[in-house]
């Protein structure tokens, strides 16, 4: 048993929720008729215009709205449109009330998204039955959506575990670059935040960047771990890790653009990159961000064929590539992020 009850539940004296109905009608007599019919079963709010109804909704979200179709100044359809403009109100069931019993009008109301349509004069039993069925359906839909959301969270959790396992496999494949994918993911997320991505988008970009080198699983160890400069033929084989990675990740549909990060992070803004020679904004944005983070980490890390570079020198070199190798917008965000990294400790 729940210890806490809402205000409506406590008012009922039974622990059962009392649903709130907002009735909007320019005719005061109609509103009083509706109130008398509903008051024994529901909490009722009355509004004599569309504008007043909208103000009521801002203060308290009702469980259902009864909306007169023919009103002066702001008619029912316009009031409906304005209610639905707020995403928080898109799940409120709305029943139109009208003296117009034409099939055409009823069809138009249902097509714009109304839950039901009741003609006047209002019959108490019909009104109560329609409201009860509509609220019951809405509550069932909400319950179903809660189940879907929970299953989605479970699926995303499993996907994250799989991504972490794959990232570990990449690290095991090439010990020389151990930790590279995680650092690139962290840099990419920081750049994305600076560019105004929301937290969900940042999380997806982090996961995408974590797997940007997954295609290296398909590269022979003799080439991947070669101690020295690659031959032109070996370099062409290394380049295929982008298409291999893109193909591997194309089967994942829960994270948008995840395959783009692997396939396109070696494209260049001027169109001279690989594997497709994409240029400018034809390169997916996630790949343009990962490209900067990837080069920054590669240049600031030790490799068997080169020493690590000073981060300040790397920043200068990357910023010189703005407009040629890299997207200028990403470089501006990168500058702000890296400036924070390089600030001296107090």
Q: Is 244 helix (H, G, I), strand (E, B) or coil?
A: helix
Q: Residues 103, 185: one domain?
A: no
Q: What is the mean pLDDT of residues 211-239?
A: 88
pLDDT of res. 9: 47
pLDDT at 56 over 90: yes
Our count of domains for the chain comes to 2
Q: Residues 95, 171: one domain?
A: no
pLDDT at 329 over 80: yes
Q: In sequence order, which ranges of the chain are alpha helices (DSSP H)?
A: 7-12, 28-38, 50-59, 76-85, 103-111, 124-173, 180-194, 199-210, 221-224, 232-239, 241-249, 258-264, 285-299, 311-320, 328-341
Q: Angle formed by the axes of helices 328-341 and 285-299, to 10°?
A: 40
Which two tokens mark 49?
């215009």
* Domain termination residue (choose one: 142, 172, 207): 142
pLDDT of res. 343: 46
Answer whether residue 148 is part of any domain. Answer: no
pLDDT of res. 20: 94
pLDDT at 323 over 90: yes
pLDDT of res. 84: 92
Q: What are phi and psi for residue 68, nearest 5 degrees? A: -65, 140
Q: Residues 173, 318: one domain?
A: yes
* Average pLDDT value over all residues in the chain: 86
* Domain termination residue (choose one: 78, 113, 142): 142
pLDDT of res. 78: 94
Q: What percent of the chain has pLDDT over 70?
A: 86
Which among 39, 40, 14, 35 has a CA at the least distance from the CA of 25? Answer: 35
The residue that leads in pLDDT, 226 or 44, is 44
Answer whether residue 147 is part of any domain. Answer: no
pLDDT of res. 156: 65
Domain that holds residue 59: 7-142
Q: Residues 108, 251: one domain?
A: no
What are the Cα distances from residue 50, in Å, to 83, 99, 119, 121, 127? Answer: 10, 17, 19, 20, 21
Q: Is 46 helix (H, G, I), strand (E, B) or coil?
A: strand
Q: Residues 174, 79: one domain?
A: no
pLDDT at 7 over 60: no
CATH number of 61's domain = 3.40.50.2300
Answer whether residue 2 is part of any domain. Answer: no
Q: Write out pLDDT tens, residues 58-91.
A: 999 999 999 999 998 899 999 999 999 999 998 9
Measured in residues, the chain has a length of: 346
């Amino acid at each position: 048993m729940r210890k806490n009850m809402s205000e409506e539940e406590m008012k009922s004296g039974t622990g059962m929720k009392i649903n709130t109905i907002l009735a909007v009608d320019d005719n005061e007599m109609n509103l009083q008729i509706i109130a008398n019919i509903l008051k024994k079963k529901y909490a009722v709010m009355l509004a004599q215009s569309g504008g007043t109804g909208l103000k009521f909704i801002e203060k308290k979200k009702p469980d259902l709205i009864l909306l007169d179709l023919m009103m002066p100044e702001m008619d029912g359809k316009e009031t409906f449109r304005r209610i639905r403009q707020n995403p928080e109100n898109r799940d409120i069931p709305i029943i139109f009330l009208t003296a117009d019993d034409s099939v055409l009008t009823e069809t138009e109301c249902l097509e714009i998204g109304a839950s039901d349509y009741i003609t006047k004069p209002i019959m108490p039993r019909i009104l109560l039955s329609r409201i009860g069925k509509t609220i019951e359906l809405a509550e069932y839909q909400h319950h179903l959506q809660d189940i879907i959301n929970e299953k989605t969270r479970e699926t995303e959790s499993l996907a994250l575990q799989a991504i972490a396992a794959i990232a570990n496999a990449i690290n095991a494949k090439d010990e020389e670059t151990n930790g590279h994918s995680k650092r690139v993911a962290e840099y990419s997320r920081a750049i994305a935040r600076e560019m105004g991505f929301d937290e969900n988008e940042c999380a997806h970009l982090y996961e995408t960047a974590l797997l940007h080198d997954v295609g290296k699983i398909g590269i022979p160890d003799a080439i991947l771990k070669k101690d020295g400069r690659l031959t032109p033929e070996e370099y062409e084989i290394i380049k295929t890790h982008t298409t291999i990675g893109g193909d591997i990740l194309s089967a994942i549909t829960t994270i948008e653009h995840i395959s783009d990060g692997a396939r396109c992070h070696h494209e260049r803004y001027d169109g001279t990159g690989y594997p497709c020679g994409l240029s400018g904004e034809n390169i997916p944005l996630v790949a343009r961000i990962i490209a900067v983070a990837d080069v920054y980490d590669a240049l600031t890390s030790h490799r068997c064929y080169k020493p690590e570079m000073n981060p300040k020198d790397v920043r200068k070199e990357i910023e010189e590539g703005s407009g040629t190798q890299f997207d200028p917008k990403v470089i501006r965000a990168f500058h702000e992020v890296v400036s924070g990294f390089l600030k001296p400790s107090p």
